[in-house]
Amino acid sequence: MKNISIIGGGPAGLGVAFYSDKNKYSYELFEANEIFGGNCITYKHNEFYFDSGAHRLHDKDTQTTNLFKSLLNKNLKLINIPSQIYRDGKFIDFPISPLNLIKYFGLIKCIREGIKIIFSKNNDGNSFKSLVESKYGKEISKLFLLEYSEKLWGEKAENLSKNIAGKRLKGLNIYTFIIEVFLGKKKKTKHLDGSFLYPKFGIGTLFSALANQLNQENIHKESKVTKIKHHENYIKEIQINGTEIKKIHNLVSSMPLNKMLKILHPSPPNEILNLADKIKFRNVILVVFFLSKDRINKNGSMYFPSKKYPFTRVYEPKNRSKSMSPNNNTSLAVEIPCFYNEEYWNMEEQHLKKSISNYLIDIGLFKKSEIIGSTVKKIHNAYPVLSLNYQENITQINKYLSNFKNLHLTGRNSLFTYSHIHDQMISARKILNDILKDHKK
Ligand SMILES: Cc1cc2nc3c(=O)[nH]c(=O)nc-3n(C[C@H](O)[C@H](O)[C@H](O)COP(=O)(O)OP(=O)(O)OC[C@H]3O[C@@H](n4cnc5c(N)ncnc54)[C@H](O)[C@@H]3O)c2cc1C
């Protein structure tokens, strides 16, 4: 029996395995897929590389940054690139800068909108809609934030929690706009920081490097956890691929929370299973075009808030690292958020590629004659849908799960938080600390 058994070999699970290894705790990790990295992987298509979505490593946690710097050395670079929003035939800076808003609306309308916002009641309610409308007014919110979020999360903005904003809107309000208008580039507010760390051959190399640090005998691919058996408030055993049984000392799960509840044996009470049914995840379809041109533009990401387009974000991997495309070529990856029952998820691949390329050609990002190849990838459980009262449901589920004294949850879909790579590493360290403390008791 190992000290720590881990479900999932994405960033969260690999992080726990890494810190277990460092703390000389015996561990064993089970990953359902044939590769490690979860939703943070890099695909290779001929000489092109592209990630499972527009990933970047934010320099937000020194220990995480230092760890990946030490693993990748010169192959992890600080990148500084702009991003833009495309709306009504125009590209404007993202996050929205005041000068670009003036270009978009014209000075008079901008002043009128600004005054409306300053004198509006600060109705900072519970939903994402009320949060952004109180900060930016109805017009700016609708054009740049509400439609976009509804496409991304698949819910009406009034039914979305304000937690979907994450830290993106921090420091971005009408007052910071005004400061920028008057002080211009001398005092750019923090939200305009477009710098991040990025590996030479894509985000997935962070996690292949991390997996390489581990004892390979203890990390298993194609090992899906199919049952979690418990008795008297302890997890006792897990079942792998429907057959093999492993005894458990401590179990760390990073698998989606609803799926984990459903493989508990004996089953949780019906009210907990009903809450599990309310949990939703948004998937993402990635359509990637390989192009016979050197560059499209300089953007890190391009955002498409209008519902006219089925995609939310488009990115050119070469702008993150030159090595992502061969010389004289580039590629463009398009993210289409989807539930399983939606039209695009079920669309035949050729039809999907044609439909998406037509939009991009119309916008002017490339010509039909420049497409030298294309591919489609599907990312399951990309975003936990943080609808208005999700926290109450999650709190009740967590209260039930806290009965199990040797169970720890980590990761985006198990903790059901809009979290990022560095958050997974912080969570891994915390779990190890908790287990160490318990051990000393
Ligand atoms: C489009 C997109 C863009 C993103 N951009 C960024 C970004 O720029 N910066 C950033 O920091 N983060 C970004 N993220 C977030 C980042 O990808 C997540 O924080 C991270 O992937 C979460 O790691 P995880 O291990 O919790 O979950 P996952 O990556 O989902 O990994 C979970 C793993 O568990 C495995 N698993 C599930 N069930 C079982 C089972 N029963 N048995 C065994 N294994 C199982 C899965 O196969 C998977 O490998 C982005 C995410 C997406 C989708």
pLDDT of residue 101: 76
CATH of domain 4-38+56-68+202-279+387-440: 3.50.50.60
Q: Of 137-141, 142-146, 150-154, 335-339, where does mean pLDDT reach its minimum? A: 137-141
pLDDT grade for 120, boundaries at 50, 70 and 90: low
CB atoms within 10 A of CB 126: 13
Contact 195, 58 (CB under 8 A): no
pLDDT grade for 381, boundaries at 50, 70 and 90: very high
Residue 234: beta bridge partners? 231
Ligand 1 centroid to 63 CA: how many Å?
20
Fold of 281-384: Polyamine Oxidase; Chain A, domain 2 (3.90.660)
What are 235-246's pLDDT values in tens digits? 999 999 999 999
Ligand 1 centroid to 57 CA: how many Å?
14
Query: Mean pLDDT in the chain?
Result: 91
Beta strands 48-51 and 42-45 are: antiparallel
Contact 3, 19 (CB under 8 A): no
Q: Whose CA is nearest to atom 8 of ligand 1?
A: 55
Transcribe 368-404 into DSSP letters: GGGEEEEEEEEEEEEEE--BTTHHHHHHHHHHHHTT-
What are 182-210's pLDDT values in tens digits? 555 445 545 445 789 999 999 999 999 99
- The two tokens of residue 176 are 């910071």
Instruction: Please work out whether the CB of residue 255 comes within 6 Å of at least one atom of ligand 1.
Output: yes
Atom of ligand 1 nearest to the CA of 422: 11
Tell me the domain boundaries of the chain. Answer: 4-38+56-68+202-279+387-440, 94-187, 281-384
DSSP letter for 37, please: -
Q: Of 75-79, 111-115, 157-161, where does mean pLDDT reach its minimum? A: 111-115
Ligand 1 centroid to 4 CA: how many Å?
20
What are 17-45's pLDDT values in tens digits? 999 999 999 999 999 999 999 999 999 99
What are 164-179's pLDDT values in tens digits? 876 566 555 656 666 5
Ligand 1 centroid to 88 CA: how many Å?
33
Instruction: Please work out whether the CB of residue 38 comes within 6 Å of at least one atom of ligand 1.
Output: yes
Residues 267 and 277: their CA atoms lie apart, in Å, by: 14
Out of 334, 412, 431, mutate this one to test ligand 1's pocket (max ligand atoms within 8 Å of CB): namely: 412
**Residue range 84-95: mean pLDDT, rounded:** 87
Q: Which amino acid type is present at position 308? A: K
